[in-house]
């Protein structure tokens, strides 16, 4: 299960209602900030999530509306927050810009009180934690080194409490061993095998975030059967030519991808100020009913049923 918090949902420039792109993904004790548009630190404060444990930043691409907030966020961390370290994962082009922003402007030759690690990414697994893999995959937008991210929980076999009760397995380390797939010896001497109390294998939750993109064909397999998909829907289909000119999607494009990939829920962000939310949502839902146009400070639980 993942918790998803939208901090900024506007396209290219902020509006009165929407900040620039940023979202926080929470999985167990881990927090990941995906993109960091200008003003993100204030959005974090307004969300009441706080800065605690936000020490890993994933960047989709190098455009300024997705990275300018890193300067202010790091400046705040340097002065007020007790951080152990900060890890920034991005493509080569984005890292070059971020390095200039941090080390030529914000820090400017001074020694940071904690390590700042700029980690270049390529396609494949970039972070692996207990029961969680984060994969990067290439995305086509204006310029090189653009990426999307999939967050994938490890699957498991559920512990069947009713079978454990029937076998009179006591609470404690015996059940813990069985949950972990290990045989256990009960106090009465019986040996219980995990096969006796575990159900069929269940796929873990899969959740995908795509930043700006000009097309969806290359994304289809990466999004396949995701429980949640976050992707831009900057334009309406009436201005599809403008969408293509600036390498963005329409709401219909996003919805068609969600439908073809058999996604459970679609979250459309990066909304242009030129449209009303209800019109964007109407266009998406006409193709894929489980479409939601998101707003700043919206939050969702993403889980595999």
Number of domains in the chain: 2
Strand order in the sheet with 206-209: 124-129, 132-138, 147-153, 206-209, 228-232, 266-269, 291-293
Instruction: State whether 171 and 210 are in the same domain.
Output: no
For residues 108-115, average pLDDT: 86
Q: Is 222 annotated as a binding residue?
A: no
For residues 239-252, average pLDDT: 96
Instruction: State whether 144 and 66 are in the same domain.
Output: yes
- Name 8's bridge partners: 22
Bigger pLDDT: 299 vs 203: 299
Q: Is 66 annotated as a binding residue?
A: yes
Q: Is 248 annotated as a binding residue?
A: no
pLDDT digits (tens, 9 = 90+) for 31-45: 999 999 999 999 999
Instruction: State whether 115 and 167 are in the same domain.
Output: no
Q: Which residues are catalytic?
A: 65
C-alpha 198/C-alpha 201 separation (Å) is: 9
HSE-CB at 305 with a 13 A cutoff on CA atoms is: 5
Residue 42: phi and psi, rounded to 5, are: -70, -40
pLDDT digits (tens, 9 = 90+) for 117-167: 999 999 999 999 988 999 999 999 998 999 999 999 998 888 889 998 999
pLDDT exceeds cutoff 90 at 203: no
Q: Comparing 96-100, 174-178, 286-290, which segment has the lowest mean pLDDT?
A: 174-178
Percent of residues, the chain, with pLDDT higher than 70: 100
pLDDT exceeds cutoff 80 at 82: no
- Residue 187's pLDDT band, with cuts at 50, 70 and 90, is very high
Q: Is 212 annotated as a binding residue?
A: yes
pLDDT exceeds cutoff 80 at 63: yes
**Structural domain boundaries enclosing 165:** 161-196
- Residue 280's pLDDT band, with cuts at 50, 70 and 90, is very high
Q: Hey, what's the torsion of the CAs at 153, 66, 46, 23, to 10 degrees?
A: -10
pLDDT exceeds cutoff 90 at 109: no
pLDDT exceeds cutoff 80 at 47: yes
Instruction: State whether 189 and 67 are in the same domain.
Output: no
Question: Which pLDDT value is given to residue 78?
Answer: 87
Looking up residue 255, the CATH number of its domain turns out to be 3.60.15.10
Q: Is 295 annotated as a binding residue?
A: no
Query: Between the CA of residue 153 and those of 93, 177, 299, what are the distances in Å?
Result: 29, 21, 19
Instruction: State whether 110 and 192 are in the same domain.
Output: no
- pTM over 0.85, yes/no: yes
Q: Is 65 annotated as a binding residue?
A: yes
pLDDT exceeds cutoff 80 at 81: no
Q: Is 305 annotated as a binding residue?
A: no
Instruction: State whether 145 and 81 are in the same domain.
Output: yes
Instruction: State whether 113 and 215 are in the same domain.
Output: yes
pLDDT exceeds cutoff 90 at 262: yes
């Amino acid at each position: 299960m993942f918790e998803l918090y939208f901090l900024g949902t506007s396209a290219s420039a902020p509006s009165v209602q929407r900040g620039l792109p940023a979202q926080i993904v929470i999985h167990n004790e881990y927090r990941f900030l995906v993109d960091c548009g200008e003003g993100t630190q204030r959005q974090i404060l307004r969300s009441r999530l706080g800065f605690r444990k936000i020490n890993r930043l994933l960047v989709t691409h190098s455009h300024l509306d997705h990275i300018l907030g890193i300067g202010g966020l790091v400046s705040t961390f340097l002065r007020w927050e007790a951080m152990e370290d900060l890890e920034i994962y991005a493509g080569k082009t984005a890292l070059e810009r971020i390095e200039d922003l941090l080390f030529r402007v914000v820090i400017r030759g001074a020694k940071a009180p904690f390590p700042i690690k700029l980690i270049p990414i390529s396609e494949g697994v970039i972070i692996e934690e207990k029961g969680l893999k984060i994969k990067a995959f290439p995305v086509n937008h204006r310029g090189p080194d653009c990426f999307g991210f999939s967050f994938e929980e490890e699957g498991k076999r559920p512990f069947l409490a009713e079978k454990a009760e029937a076998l009179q397995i006591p609470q404690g380390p015996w059940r813990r061993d069985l949950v972990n797939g290990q045989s256990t010896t009960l106090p009465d001497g019986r040996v219980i095998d995990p096969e006796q109390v575990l159900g069929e294998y269940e796929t873990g939750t899969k959740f995908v975030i795509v930043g700006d993109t000009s097309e969806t064909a290359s994304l289809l397999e990466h999004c396949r059967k995701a429980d949640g998909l976050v992707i831009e829907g900057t334009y309406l289909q009436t201005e599809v030519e403008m969408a293509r000119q600036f390498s963005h999607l329409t709401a219909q494009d996003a919805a068609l991808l969600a439908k073809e990939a058999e996604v459970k829920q679609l979250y459309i962000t990066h909304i242009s100020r030129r449209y009303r939310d209800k019109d964007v949502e109407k266009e998406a839902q006409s193709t894929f009913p489980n479409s939601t146009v998101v707003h700043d400070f919206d939050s969702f639980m993403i889980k595999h049923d």
